[in-house]
Every structure is written in structure tokens, then in C-alpha cells.
A and B are shown apart, each in its own frame.
Chain A
Amino acid sequence: MAFESLSPQLTELPGAVPAWRADASAAELPDICQVVKDQGGRLAALWGTDEQDRGEGYALNLVLAKPEGILWLKSALPVDRLQYPDLSPIFYPAQRMQRAARDLLGIDAEAADRRPWLRHAAWQETDRPLRREAAGATVYDQGGNDYAFVSVIGDGVHEIPVGPVHAGTIEPGHFRFSIVGEKVLRLEEHLGYTHKGVDKRFQGMALAEGAKLAGRVSGDSTVAYAWAFSMAAESIAGVTPPERALWLRALMLERERVANHLGDLGYLGNDGGLAFGLAQFMRLKEDVLRLNEKLFGHRYLMDRIVPGGVACDLARGGIEAIVAECGALEREVRLLKDIYDDHPGLQDRFLTCGRLTPNTASKLGVIGLAGRASSQAWDARAQAAPAPYDVLGVRMKTHKNGDVAARVIMRFDEIFESLRLIRAVTERIAPGEIALPLASAPAGRMGLGWIEGWRGESMVALDLDANGSIRSCHAHDPSWQNWPALAFAVNGNIVPDFPLINKSFNLSYSGCDL
């Protein structure tokens, strides 16, 4: 067992991934976190919940991850004591998550940084929109929005503010560059612009509706989130989806990965000055989306994974079409990879640009594709290996250079690996049921879902009430961990390289603004 050396009483959560639950007092948290860290573990997620409906005040929730599994720790915070120890000295990514929990619920890590994170002007410091007594439809009086950016002072230093509306077709956020000449001394990110109140929205939803909302936490990872949500619901209900449903889920998740990587490779070529790459890769991506539409009825596979299984079976001739597509993609992507590899102008832009060293990546707790490009060997498909990945056997790759070039190579490698996995699925999938009904779950049960999407791990923590509707649900995006790393990777580079470096990470705004 992954966490047996810890003091709290562990309860194993049934389901697709090795997961445990435990309660711990706030005072115990730093020691527990330190032990997990010393054993090679890390912080996967941190958020707050209102437990007043159970007469228990509030709670701080942590999910800690080790390659062998995850642990959901809940720490009760009585109404008259909303403080808990700052965990960011142990786990760097805790910083922003702690600030977000404070903005929404008023629970406070008493960290040195007192600035809000998700709260801009839509509510005031004294408002707690995620508390149960606050109606979801409340519109608060506007607060101020003067965010105190850290200023860099010195000869010739000046600032460039960018956003929230950016020059390209991307999500909104604010970047504050402190520069000398064209060199970036510091990048500060201010996000939260797409905060839509997702945690609040989940409350009271039926499972089917919740799965849809989870699939819209970050639209480019809709398959990953719908799977994570369903996995959590199935854990609570004690249901294992039929085998065919699991194969179809893996098929969809790998198609999502391939589609996103193709798009990114196109844009990376374009940002590096090779428009040819954009035209070619976007054509290939469009082909994948069109086949999705034909076989599954949706270009991005939204709402195709549901609690209990999948919503639609593969259309007739689907397997043959997918096998043919794999062959064509393999051929075309290899050819384009040769062109990228042999293009001196492009390689000149990619190599050594936006370097995140393995050492920094490890200190920051970077995960997902960007982490693997900096030697951080985390991939929930390869490690926790929820079915059917336990049978498929994902061959995780890592790279140690941590520059744009490494993140490009990771994408090529992962496309080829996904094509291999897709072929393996087509060889093994057999006719059968595609969904099972979820029996009403016992009240007060909690479930976790954890799956490696194309960007990194998507996690969903679900808690149902006595009627089987959602009491609370929290979705966690890997971008929480990786946004701070972007700021480190940009340091010392020139401003005009920022779009390329940013694209090479391609992090989600919506996924962590929630």
C-alpha cells in the first residue's frame, strides 16, 4: 500500500485507481505532507469544502499522489477556527490553490501572500460565494480589482502588461512582464478571469448533469474530465463499467490526445515561423475530428463518456476506419517530423528556448506532458493504470532538456504511442454491453477519479448526498501545477519567444479558474 506508513486511519476507496481516504487534523498536515514528499510523493490537489450541512464546519481537502496511488485527506476546520498551516513551503503548487480556497470559502492558510487569486471584482473580500448559505444566484457588490503585482526595480527595467484579452485566439489571462531591453527578468501571471463558479454549480446536480459539466471544465480535455468524473461516480456506486465501455473510453482518450498534440505541433511550427506546419497538422487534426463525428457523433467526443460506461457504441465499420486512419496518420506524422527535424530555422527557435530544468521542475511539482519533458516521470496511465491501461501497458517517455524542443519531441513520441495503443484496442475490443446502470449509492460516500489526459492528470473528487445528487464536486486541472513553471521557463528569454514557449506548455485557463 502506498501510504501505509502514515499515521491516520486509511480507508481504501473501491474503483479503477488505487485510492485511499483519511481524516487528519490541520496540525498534522505538515508532517504528513513532509513524509509523503520524502517518499517521492507530491501534492495533486487542494481545495476547500463547506461541511455545515453535516454540522461540521468547513474542511480543507488535499489529494496527495505517489506513483502507486492517491490519498484524499480531509481536515475539519471548525467555524471558529478557519486557519490551517501553510503547506506551500513543502509543496510549491499549494500557493495558488490555498489563495483560491480562501477567496471562495474564507479558510485561510495564513501564508505570507495575502493577495486574492480567483476574486477579482465580482465579489468582496468579506463575501464567501462557495459557502452553502450563499445562494448560487447571488450577485455581489463589486469589489476593487487592483492586483498588487510584484514590481522589479532597477536601471532600465520596465513592464509590459498583456491581457486579459490576448492577441491570438486563446483564453483570457493577464501576464505582467518585467523586462530589460528585450530580455524577460520576471513574468507574473494573474489568472482567474474565466472563473465561472463551477464548484458551486456542481452542487445539487444529478450525476448525468454533473458528467456534462465536468466535460466542460476544460473543453480541450472533455474526454479526460468526463472519464475522471465517471470513475469517481463508479467508485461510489461500486460499479465496474463493462469491458467494451472501458476499451471505448481508452480509444476516445487517445484520440483526444492525438487531436490536441496535432494541433499543438501545427501551432508550434507556425510560431517558429513555419506556416506550412500549421496547414499540414491542422488538416490532419480536422481529419481526426471528422472521423470522431462520423463514428461517435461529436467532433470532440463531448458527453460520450457517462457514469456507468459510454453513451454510444462505435458505428459500423468503425474499427476498420480507425485502423486505416492510424496507418495514414503514422505515415504523415513521420514525414512531417522529418521535415521539422531537418528544418534549421525551426530547430534554431526550438532548441534551448524556454528551458525548464529537471531540478526546477521537480521543486515546482510540474506534471503531465510538460513535466515529462523535464524528466518528471508521472503518467497516471502508466502508473495507477486504470483499466484498460493495466492491460495496454503505456510506455511512458521522458526527456531531460526541458526546452521547447523537448516538449515538441514529447508530443511526437506521444502521438506514436497513442497510435500504438489505439491499434492495440482495435485488436482486443470485443462485442458486449457499453453501460451499466449505477445503483443508488449509500449516502455519505466519496469517490475519486484520476486519469492522464493529454495535458496531464485530470482529477475529480466527488461526494454525493443521500438522494444520490452531488453534494460537492471538485475538478482539478494539471495546469495548477504547471502555470508557475511557465514563469520560470520564460526567465532570461526574449519577449518575442514568449508565444512559442507559452504554446509549448499550452496550459488551460478555464480548467483552473473553474
Chain B
Amino acid sequence: MYQLLKQIVSVGIKTEAPPQTDEALRVVSQRLKQEILGMFAGSLAIRHVDAGSCNGCELEIHMLNNPYYNIEGLGIKFVASPRHADLLLVTGPVSRNMEEALKRTYDAVPEPKLVVAVGDCGCSGGIFGESYASCGRIANVIAVDVAVPGCPPTPTALMQGILTAISAAGRNHA
């Protein structure tokens, strides 16, 4: 126990400042009202769905919770069920074998909901493209708000994408 406490104290706090939002990542204009976004900020529940990725994107999603990025410190946490989620973080090209499961997961998220597509594969189908086995990008299967390119995108890019999804800028006031 002494060793454990000593290690915690000697390592100290490693968390770095979060990135700014980036409007270039937005796919459709913000659909949610300021008041709702205000509630998401500081308490956002994310459900991750791997719709057919190579698992590279998952590695970086895991890193969001390490002490450097500490995404929970921003009030953003990963939850075990889509029914508890505000935002779906989806990786992959969507494999045809996951198409149905992705749609069902999307339907299980209560409104109002947001979707962030992750990685070159999530944005465009990537190196796997569209084929007998792959539906390509996430937007081919469910509505996407923000898409974060990269192979895989860095944790900073992922945070930026998530923060952009819950920011009011880019909202269509029409």
C-alpha cells in the first residue's frame, strides 16, 4: 500500500489542456439547441460502436481515458449501453455483417442524439472501401454529425471531434 500511494504522489497530475473545437470536422450543421448543448457540456455520455474497424481506432479511443487526456475530467464518460448514451462514437468502415447491429444501436440511443464518425475508414471507407463485405463510410448507414479523419485519429483529434459535436457553433439558425 505504501508503494502504491508513493507512486501516485510521485507521478503527480499528468492531465493536459483539452484542444479547441474545429468546425472543419462538422458534416451537417448543428441540429441541437443551445440549451441542450449546454446540458451535454459537462455531462456527456458516449457509447462506442466498432462497426468493423481494424481495431486501430479503438486503441486511440482507449487512450482518451489515460491520465494525459483524461476525458472524464471534462465530464465526458463512456457508458455500457446505447440507451444511456447521448453520443455514438463509431469506428470502421461499416461491415455488412455489422450494418444491422449499428442501425439498431443508433435506434436505441434516445433523442436528442449525436454521432461522431471516427477514422479514415469511418469518414470514407478508407483502405477497405465499399465491397460485398463493406458498406464503406458510417454516413452510408446512419446520420453523422461530425467526422474525424486519421488512421487512426490521435486522442487529441478525437477530443476535438467530440467537443465540436457538442459545441453550438455551426448551428443552423434557419
Contact = CB atoms under 8 A, between A and B. Distances in A.
Interface in A182-196: 192-196
Interface stretch (A48-56, A137-145, A440-448): A137-145
B4 A276 contact: yes
A335 B3 contact: yes
A299 B55 contact: no
B24 interface: no
A134 B67 contact: no
Interface in B92-110: 92-93, 95-101, 105
Contact of B133 (A172, A197, A286, A511): A197
Given A171-B58, A172-B101, A300-B59, A194 B151 contact: no
A123 B97 CA distance: 10
A209 to B, nearest CB: 8
A254 interface: no
Contact of A283 (B50, B68, B98): B68
Contacts of B127: 201, 209, 212-213, 216
A220 interface: yes
Contacts of B129: 201
Contact of A194 (B52, B68, B154): B52
Interface string A67-85: 0000000000000000000
A185 to B, nearest CB: 25
Given A196-B134, A201-B129, A212-B127, A170 B50 contact: yes
Contact of A169 (B51, B61, B93): B61
Contacts, number: 168
Nearest to B70: A279
B11 to A, nearest CB: 7
Given A122-B97, A172-B101, A219-B56, A197 B7 contact: no
Interface string B51-79: 11111111111110111100000000010
B54 A193 contact: no
B49 A165 contact: yes
A496 to B, nearest CB: 14
Contacts of A431: none
B67 A510 contact: no
B39 interface: no
Contacts of A280: 7, 11
B80 interface: yes
Contacts of B126: 216
A129 interface: yes
Interface in A301-340: 302, 335-336, 338-339
B98 A508 contact: no
Contact of B56 (A209, A216, A276): A216
B132 A140 contact: yes
Interface string B109-134: 00000000000000000111111111
Nearest to A299: B154
Nearest to B78: A169
Interface in B9-64: 11, 14, 48-63
Contacts of A136: 131-132
Say which size band chain A's interface belongs to: 35 or more
B97 A165 contact: no
B81 interface: yes
A197 to B, nearest CB: 3
B152 interface: yes
Interface residues of B, number: 52
B8 interface: yes
A213 B128 CA distance: 8
A257 interface: no
A194 B53 contact: yes
Contacts of A286: 63, 66-68
A167 B114 CA distance: 19
Given A165-B101, A170-B50, A172-B50, A197 B132 contact: yes
Q: Which 6 A-B pairs have the closest CB atoms?
A: A219-B56, A197-B133, A122-B96, A282-B66, A167-B80, A219-B54
13 contacts: A167-B80, A171-B55, A193-B52, A193-B95, A195-B95, A195-B133, A196-B134, A197-B132, A200-B131, A201-B128, A283-B14, A300-B59, A508-B55
Interface of A: 118, 120-123, 129, 134, 136-140, 145, 164-165, 167-172, 192-198, 200-201, 209, 212-213, 216-220, 222, 263, 276, 278-280, 282-283, 285-286, 289, 299-300, 302, 335-336, 338-339, 342-343, 508-511, 513
Interface of B: 3-4, 7-8, 11, 14, 48-63, 65-68, 78, 80-82, 92-93, 95-101, 105, 126-134, 151-152, 154
Given A136-B132, A139-B96, A220-B59, 13 more contacts: A118-B97, A136-B131, A137-B130, A164-B101, A169-B48, A193-B97, A219-B53, A219-B55, A219-B56, A283-B14, A339-B3, A342-B3, A509-B55
